[in-house]
Amino acid sequence: MKEIKIKVLVPEGLEGIFEKELDALVKGLRRLARKPAVTVDDVFGIMPTEKSVREMRLEAYEELFS
């Protein structure tokens, strides 16, 4: 992980609010960067289907990013 330092001037009395908002933003970005806990390989064989893992991955990708 890389460290970035930001210097911001915040009006007096709003330092705490700014820190809380920034922490929430960083936590959200970290959550997005995490990999999913369950992958297609983990659940393959559980669902009865005629599709291959590759076809299932392609469909999931199309649903997520289309």
34 torsion bin: left (phi>0), alpha (psi -120 to 50), beta (else): beta
Instruction: Please tell me the predicted confidence (pLDDT) of residue 48.
Output: 74
The 10s digit of each residue's pLDDT in 44-53 is 666 677 888 7
41-64: b or e for each residue (b if 16 or more CB lie within 10 Å)?
eeeeeeeeeeeeeeeeeeeeeeee
Q: How far apart are CA 60 and CA 39, in angstroms?
A: 11
- Whether 34 has a pLDDT exceeding 80, the answer reads no
Stretch 3-11: mean pLDDT, rounded?
88
